[in-house]
A and B are shown apart, each in its own frame.
Chain A
Amino acid sequence: MLLERYRYSLFIIAIALLAGVIGFIFNVWETHEGFLYDLLTTIISTAIAFFVFTLTYESVTRKTSTQSMVDEMRGLFEEQRRLVRNEFRDEVDDSIVKSLGAELDIIQKYSSNEVFDVVNNCSARLLGHGLAENMQNVLASILNNPSYRASMRYNIDIYPNDTERFEACTDAKFYISQTLEYKKYLRKVDGDDNKLDDNNLKLSCFFAFNKNPFLQKEQEEIFFLREELSSHSFIKSLNKENAIRLFDYWVQFFYEGDWVDLADIDSVEKQPSVEFVRQTCGGKYAGIKFVSNIPKQVLIEDGEYIYFRARIKCSYPTSRREFYFKVPELTLQANVSIELNSTNDSLHLVSFTDNYHIQLDKKSDSRESYNFCCNSKDSILLPNNGFTAVW
């Protein structure tokens, strides 16, 4: 820019300087040959100076201006490309979303990364970047999860502890009887289309002894059912031999259109195994675990998943007046019913998630029941969704 602005001044100064230099050289050599000779040498030196300067000047200015022009063009080009890319991506998102909505098979044409990109872009447009980022984190945690649940039916009945069954448990004013069933979907192991991780072919239920239900060791494992025991006298009475009977624990699998006991499917494993689990630190017991094998006959293939449908039933006394329900993994279509069978107490249910339908059904003076429903075809319970019931 500087060279350009003063190009003519520089040009004249350069000619004068060169003429002076050449004249000086001739003077030094003392070769005065008259006026014509002087004129000729002046013209020649001027022409040489002009020629040399022009070459240098053109070379420098051409390089500089070309460079700045290229930079400017590149910036504009990048901006255009960014705008076009964004616009194109939005259009592509819309078309993909419409396609997916129109025909589910089309989803197969896209990789999971592409589909995730679509969801990310759409959620960013709809929710803004902050909320969309949160949603994407939730989605990522779900997508990375190797399993989910569907068609959950969970019935919890609370009774006053005035029967013979738990009469020895004097610290328990109530006992809880529950039935839980759902379909458990397990993602097939990568690279092997028909196999599951052997660890997944176990059905485990865990009853924690500690009041803190978030023991680190057990937190890593997802159980079919997980509960918290609060009656110390009941905990003390448990051993490996009597545990199944005291809990009145049984497991059934859905097999060939009917609910069938494990013992009727698998002749080897007639009863679940019972295991006392120690805490990670210290020697205290953290809880008791019932583990059943899942017979291969009950496994059903469904795309990239294999699922089975199981039902468990159990009862145990409680010294606390609360019941805590939380799903540890994605659950589709859940219907949870909790019922208090007592004339002296009221049942209160508080959801710690939003927008789930909770309905109180007061069946009689002695029976209050809540339904925590999530029944519509597309409704889901996200991990950690649930409620706390207090009576």
Chain B
Amino acid sequence: MVIDYEGCFRQAGLIDVQTVIPEVVVDLKYATTDNFMGKVLYLGLKKAYLLPHMAERLKRVQARLEDLKPGHKLVIYDAARPLSIQREMFDRVKGTPQEQYVANPYIEGNEGGFHNYGMAVDLSILDADNKPLDMGTPFDFFGEEAHTTNDKLLLESGRIGEMAYRNRQFLYAVMQEQELYPLPNEWWHYQHFMEEPDKKKFKILDF
């Protein structure tokens, strides 16, 4: 059975990001086979949905990008994610070193991660030629090179290049201006609320 994800998202109070920011590019990796699972997970979902406050903040980030680097735009790789997809992803990595990168959807009372509430977004920046800026690793790279806690060390040890280092610093800066913060182990993942109890203030996308 194909779930009407978009209908369910709207019912939960989420909005289609492109209705707020028409210029943003949406390239949902889990709607393609270009992801760590190697399979299409979002059957019938091509749009990025988020809680309104996240979409509003991204709108300001996009406006700031236009000011600082005309022609550059945000590209969204993932946004709101249904809990059923989260289960499928977790089952795949359970018991492997990658388990730390996927939120556990089975913890009773604290199911899933911020994506499962529409509170988190995975993104990067496209240049004026619509090419993604070099961030040192691809999206969904499971390894220290993707961590955000010590970019300087990664640069000095040659694990990421100078350009990647500068691009990351730029991305952090424009996002943090709007109070959007990255996770320690994923340069592409941003959210406004950072603490676990904050999830309880929104509705889990349990479908």
Contacts and interface: CB of A to CB of B under 8 A. Distances in A.
Contact of A350 (B195, B197, B200, B202): B202
Nearest to B53: A390
A351 B13 contact: yes
Contact of A388 (B11, B56, B197, B202): B202
B161 interface: no
B56 A350 contact: no
Given A321-B179, A322-B193, A322-B201, 16 more contacts: A211-B195, A211-B197, A321-B53, A348-B52, A348-B53, A350-B13, A350-B52, A350-B203, A352-B202, A352-B203, A354-B11, A388-B201, A388-B202, A390-B51, A390-B192, A391-B53
Given A211-B195, A321-B179, A354-B11, A348 B201 contact: no
Interface in A77-131: none
A285 interface: no
Contacts of B193: 322
Nearest to B204: A352
A346 interface: yes
A390 B202 CA distance: 11
Interface string A352-364: 1010000000000
B51 A350 contact: yes
6 contacts: A214-B200, A322-B193, A324-B201, A348-B52, A352-B202, A352-B203
Listed residue (A214, A321, A322, A350) with the most chain B CB atoms within 10 angstroms of its CB: A350
Interface in A355-391: 388, 390-391
Interface in B158-204: 179, 192-193, 195, 197, 200-203
Interface of A: 211-214, 321-322, 324, 346, 348, 350-352, 354, 388, 390-391
A33 to B, nearest CB: 97
A89 B108 CA distance: 39
Contacts of B11: 354
Nearest to A391: B53
A388 B51 CA distance: 11
A47 to B, nearest CB: 81
Contacts of A322: 193, 201
A212 B195 CA distance: 9
Enumerate the 8 nearest inter-chain pairs by beta-carbon distance, A residue then B residue, closest first.
Answer: A390-B53, A348-B52, A350-B13, A388-B201, A352-B203, A348-B53, A212-B197, A324-B201
A310 to B, nearest CB: 26
Contacts, number: 33
Contact of B56 (A211, A213, A348, A352): A348
A346 B53 CA distance: 8
B52 A352 contact: no
Contacts of A321: 53, 179
B80 to A, nearest CB: 12
B143 to A, nearest CB: 32
B197 A348 contact: no
Contact of A214 (B13, B51, B197): B197
A265 to B, nearest CB: 37
A351 B201 CA distance: 9
Nearest to B11: A354
B204 to A, nearest CB: 9
Given A211-B195, A321-B179, A352 B53 contact: no
B2 to A, nearest CB: 23
A352 B200 CA distance: 9
A385 B51 CA distance: 18
Interface in B45-69: 51-53, 56
Contacts of A388: 201-202
A346 to B, nearest CB: 5
B192 to A, nearest CB: 8
A388 B197 CA distance: 13
Nearest to A324: B201
Contacts of A391: 53
Nearest to B203: A352
A350 B192 CA distance: 15
Contacts of B53: 321, 348, 390-391
B197 A352 contact: no
A354 B13 CA distance: 9
Contacts of A212: 197
A354 B206 CA distance: 14
Contacts of A351: 13
A321 B194 CA distance: 13
B194 to A, nearest CB: 11
Contacts of A348: 51-53, 56
